[in-house]
Structure 1
């Protein structure tokens, strides 16, 4: 079936654009944004995250906005049938407009009776070029479980954010954040039967160790990614510095390493250090770039948004022709298991030391340490820090 996109010379396979190049049910195409007023904000700390995805082989598109404000966790979410037009990036009250590709995008959440606590009309404008990350590929029991591509960029925000009836001006002098676009194959939709993966010998090895740090400084941003199995073997890694001076080439920072500290009785990260071992860095200590990571406001991304914690609302799951919902919880009331089993998007301060000089930035410090992790002494999914 044709769609308006077929009038553009962008085909990649011998199919109409509506049909992706694989029949894998888990194919997805997604936007992610985050937005915050800076760590010097004179008010209750807040951190907004927005996502919207299309799932062509499931016939679904859905999206969410989730705000951490003080102790409040506020969610607006929507899902609908995908339809024939992949250029339609709206889901009920949530829409995304590409104003200038790879540079300016508008993100709107209209106020609704179903989710009255949160709405916004915001424009993101990049301050660095879009950076293509390392391809993410993972296979388990002969099946490809991850085969994704993503680009990311940092920038500034402008517009209006309305929370509980209060209109908050968003101005680019202080409001920052990052956005990414990813697509490919990853687990989505209704949960599949685990099959042999339920075998204790296999299930006992399953884990998700993940660090995704997007550090925004005045002259550059740094993208750092680390995914490891329980033994510390790397599944994915990236470490790239992207300059605000767009005439400069991105800089590979070498192999990234991590050292995390956890809150007693859980797995929430209280502090971290990332080191980047540039070529020659193992032999020359002055070639190691070090970043101290200080979480300021943890945002429990998986709660209510579709990342798999709640079995009645998952990304790509069929909810009906159009469903809009709002949720609200106190962060202090969240069950401990939810905090342990979802990625935490920490708004963080980053202190970088390089060549004897120190600069301070801020941004996203996303961490998940789920299941066994030998590096930090977790032997099973229920282990917590002493």
Structure 2
């Protein structure tokens, strides 16, 4: 079946646009946004919309952390032929000016959250390194992603309270990723079930906003510290300047006692010359994105899972009542402050510190899946 997109010279394979270049069920194409005021007392909003061509599904979520409230609105529908139709029930993503300006909206009347927001980019979007991982014979990750920081304008209502979102003070970042990663119902692992070390997952994804540039950091490790990914880039506001590789990434995370949440973290970017940049990260507020949004904790609602022709749900939980053990099995997105020291000077920034250590990890002394920091 054709769609309006097929009238553009953008085909990559000998198929119509709605058919991607692989039949892997786990192919996905998605948007991620976050929005914050920089103050832990204000809402910390995260939004996602994903398309799953080989599963025939598109879905979305919005989750906000506000004081002790964890509020989720999520939706799913059958995927049609038109890939320009970025709408699921009351939720819409609209591209106003590609790579520069986007509009996200959640109509009121669906739980305790609604918003109407426009994202204006600070500078160019930056392509991150390809993410590839093979577990035995199966490719489990093969994705591309770009990242971009920006400012928000519009309005938001959280738990009955209205917020005017002004671009001078409301910031955030977005990313776009696509490719193959586990989505939908869990597959039988087969022989891979015996390869337990490969199921350990250490992850840092941080997007730091400073005055003249952003810094993007990605680290994924196995239990032993073997790197699947490791990258740090400086993305200048000036579109004429190329992103700058900052060096090999080393990390030192201090944990909150009784769990695996980070109390603080120090990241070091080390060039072959020995030149070093040090970033001290101070997490301020956690948004536990694994709860209710489809990242895998709930077996009846996972990204790409068939929910019927259209379904919209709202959830409202207390942060203080979230299951502490389940927190060990999903990443959390932290609103954080950063101090970057380079060549004897220090600059201050804010942004995202996404973190997870699932399963054993030798550097931090976790030997079992349910081990916690002393």
TM-score, normalised via structure 2 length: 0.98
Taking the aligned partners of 2:312 and 2:173, their CA distance within structure 1 comes to 26
The question of whether the paired residues in 2 share the 8 Å contact of 1:222 and 1:240 is answered with yes
Residue 374 of structure 2 is aligned to residue 379 of structure 1:
no
Give the one of 312, 325, 346 matched to 1:337: 325
Per-residue CA deviation, residues 168-221 of structure 1 (Å, 9 max, x unaligned), is 10000010000000000000011111222333xx22552110000100011100
How do 1:121-200 residues align onto structure 2 when only pairs under 5 Å count? 121-199=116-194
What residue in structure 1 maps to residue 351 of structure 2?
A: 363
CA apart distance, 1:244:
1.1
What residue in structure 1 maps to residue 214 of structure 2?
A: 221
Counterpart of 2:326 in 1: which secondary structure? helix
The question of whether the paired residues in 2 share the 8 Å contact of 1:204 and 1:380 is answered with no
Residue 241 of structure 2 is aligned to residue 248 of structure 1:
yes
What residue in structure 1 maps to residue 13 of structure 2?
A: 13
What residue in structure 2 maps to residue 284 of structure 1?
A: none
Give the one of 218, 222, 227 matched to 1:234: 227
Give the one of 289, 296, 299 matched to 1:311: 299
CA apart distance, 1:86:
1.0
Consecutive unaligned residues of structure 1, counting only runs of 5 or more, are 282-286
What residue in structure 1 maps to residue 84 of structure 2?
A: 87
Counterpart of 1:376 in 2: which secondary structure? coil
Consecutive unaligned residues of structure 2, counting only runs of 5 or more, are none
Residue 38 of structure 2 is aligned to residue 50 of structure 1:
no
CA apart distance, 1:116:
2.6
The question of whether the paired residues in 2 share the 8 Å contact of 1:26 and 1:55 is answered with yes
Counterpart of 2:363 in 1: which secondary structure? helix
The question of whether the paired residues in 1 share the 8 Å contact of 2:197 and 2:222 is answered with no
CA apart distance, 1:141:
1.7
Taking the aligned partners of 1:78 and 1:158, their CA distance within structure 2 comes to 24
Taking the aligned partners of 1:166 and 1:143, their CA distance within structure 2 comes to 48
Taking the aligned partners of 2:89 and 2:220, their CA distance within structure 1 comes to 34
What residue in structure 1 maps to residue 36 of structure 2?
A: 36
Q: How many residues align?
A: 374
Q: CA RMSD in A?
A: 1.0
Per-residue CA deviation, residues 269-302 of structure 1 (Å, 9 max, x unaligned), is 0000000002302xxxxx2000000000011111
CA apart distance, 1:58:
0.2
Taking the aligned partners of 2:191 and 2:108, their CA distance within structure 1 comes to 45
